[in-house]
Structure 1
């Protein structure tokens, strides 16, 4: 293959800083074709699940409510997050297409991290939705109007873009005079920064601060929302009312676990797992990208009766 010849001939080094090579999964190159099977299966489930979710929410008038609007935002973000990386990853596994231009790499990195930040913001918005629904049910319709929901969506987008926009410009200023081989399946920020032959302290610190700022603040506000929700639920008279109120939060709590567990696991191993094999780091990083977008439609489809009923009707070929 032409890519193989260029890859082996240059060994990922040279004077052309505009071309980089994605290694895929280091140490498991011979198994790329087999690894592509679960990756492709998960990607197919992501596309099918999230498109189905969006179709059901759009076509069913009874789902035109704030909770489902936020769920639709989450489905869109999950789709975009997957589409940003998976086509290139599969092309590496199937066709050994490792080459990527530096500009394309920066664009992929920008969108990848931006959509990750938006995913966290939407989960925070969904926690706010549950807080208002349980703690201020009589004002729910007046607080979460369509206008407010649209503003929340735009704020999530603006926050992601403003925080991530400096990263590509910071990286463009760095010289890449040695290896052009990125030890990853996609252009992740730290994997690209490690290739620079200059002082990268500012880029490192900026990336860490943004990660802690986003994850820290969002998780704190989500936690505070659920503390207030739990207090409100415990004030309810009967056990049935308490269980019903908590039941409306079940899907969102599962989504939080699905999204943040791989993030925490990946970050912990990346920071402290010095003796963990590189391919384990990369597989976990890919799990973070694939698992939440695949599981979110399943979680909401199983635990939300309105969605479950409409999906069953859809696949039985009946009209809504």
Structure 2
């Protein structure tokens, strides 16, 4: 058999030694039959070790839930293990837990692990946890069955390419042209960068779904939620900042260069994006605490906070309240600031002595921003 070498060192084959990749071991059999016994032995050793320690029963259950269970669930998620094997492991776990808590054997698993009654144990069964991690392996985005997927892929690809080139060209011009190093163009370049973030978070994944598969892993889905909400919130904040910038330019033209310096503009952008990032992290944290049911079909072709938490089995009140409050505050405050700024701009321009010049100045200042606002 030919031996492969890398840097003078012989690379062993699967026959000689198993290979580990991304936390999963691959053997010469190329199946997961032997992993069932390995996981069962690991679980049994852990249970016996907990049982032999001198801790009270409640602390033993606590260590089982937060110490041993995550270690067992990881291989259950990585390998293709049938649920029947997991149910037999659960019988062993339930026997130890009943002995630690002094619960009679006649108490069924439904009463023991059920969450619908008034008397609830702070436990979840191994089978339910197994279903949760399996559901979290992937979601499925919604795509209508159509024979025109290839044409949709081509059209969407060229639209994405056009928007990408357009925004990159705008950013390049603002960076290279020194005359454009002004607050209004700094905000405009940031808006172009955010557009790239937003479209890159959705369109490539939709293109992949059109030609390959509409399955998406849970971590990628959560990452898409983060970037989508970051894009939407940052965009409307940038429009509000641009309207304030134009108001200062019209209202205080002689003090504009003192009030709106490039350094101050960069600081405002960093502060705004940092606050948006913290708000959006709240969506991610609230999603990660949820357990998901068997239903895995998302209502859209992309992942959103609302679309994802509606698939959860847990109580989603916090997700609903947090999402509603953050959306109303961000959208409401930003739109009020934008409307107030442009009303003041129009009023200041129209009060000038030369009315025609005032109207032209107002139109020149506001029309481009109004066109940009139509994208919201």
TM-score calculated relative to the size of structure 2: 0.62
Q: 1:232 to 1:42 in 2, by over 3 A?
A: same
Shift of 1:151: 1.5
Q: Given that residues 67 and 126 in structure 1 are in contact (C-alpha distance below 8 angstroms), is that contact kept between their aligned partners in structure 2?
A: yes
Indicate whether 1:86 and 2:203 are aligned.
yes
Equivalences for residues 243-254 of structure 1 within 5 A: 243-254=360-371
Aligned partner of 1:167 among 283, 286, 289: 283
Once residues 116 and 194 of structure 1 are traced to their aligned partners in structure 2, the CA distance between those partners, rounded to angstroms, is 20
Equivalence for 1:201: 317
Shift of 1:63: 1.3
Shift of 1:28: 4.0
Indicate whether 1:72 and 2:196 are aligned.
no
Once residues 37 and 248 of structure 1 are traced to their aligned partners in structure 2, the CA distance between those partners, rounded to angstroms, is 38
Gapped regions of structure 2 (runs ≥ 5) = 1-130
Equivalence for 1:318: none
Once residues 318 and 149 of structure 2 are traced to their aligned partners in structure 1, the CA distance between those partners, rounded to angstroms, is 35
Shift of 1:21: 2.8
Q: Given that residues 178 and 197 in structure 1 are in contact (C-alpha distance below 8 angstroms), is that contact kept between their aligned partners in structure 2?
A: no
Equivalence for 2:254: 138
Question: C-alpha offsets along residues 92-123 of structure 1, whole Å, 9 cap, x if unaligned?
Answer: 0122x222221221111111101211111111
Larger radius of gyration: 2
Shift of 1:46: 1.0
Q: Given that residues 131 and 226 in structure 1 are in contact (C-alpha distance below 8 angstroms), is that contact kept between their aligned partners in structure 2?
A: yes
Greater per-residue helix proportion: 1
Equivalences for residues 1-320 of structure 1 within 5 A: 16-25=134-143, 27-95=144-212, 97-238=213-354, 239-259=356-376
TM-score calculated relative to the size of structure 1: 0.73
Q: Which range moved further: 193-202 or 32-41?
A: 32-41
Once residues 31 and 241 of structure 1 are traced to their aligned partners in structure 2, the CA distance between those partners, rounded to angstroms, is 52
The secondary structure found in structure 1 opposite 2:363 is: helix
The secondary structure found in structure 1 opposite 2:323 is: helix
Gapped regions of structure 1 (runs ≥ 5) = 1-13, 260-320
Q: 1:182 to 1:173 in 2, by over 3 A?
A: same
Once residues 72 and 258 of structure 1 are traced to their aligned partners in structure 2, the CA distance between those partners, rounded to angstroms, is 16
RMSD of aligned residue pairs (Cα, Å): 1.7
Q: Given that residues 20 and 181 in structure 1 are in contact (C-alpha distance below 8 angstroms), is that contact kept between their aligned partners in structure 2?
A: no
Q: Which has the higher contact order (CA 8 A, sep 6+)?
A: 1
Shift of 1:72: 0.4
Q: Which range moved further: 135-144 or 151-160?
A: 151-160
Q: Which range moved further: 108-117 or 98-107?
A: 98-107
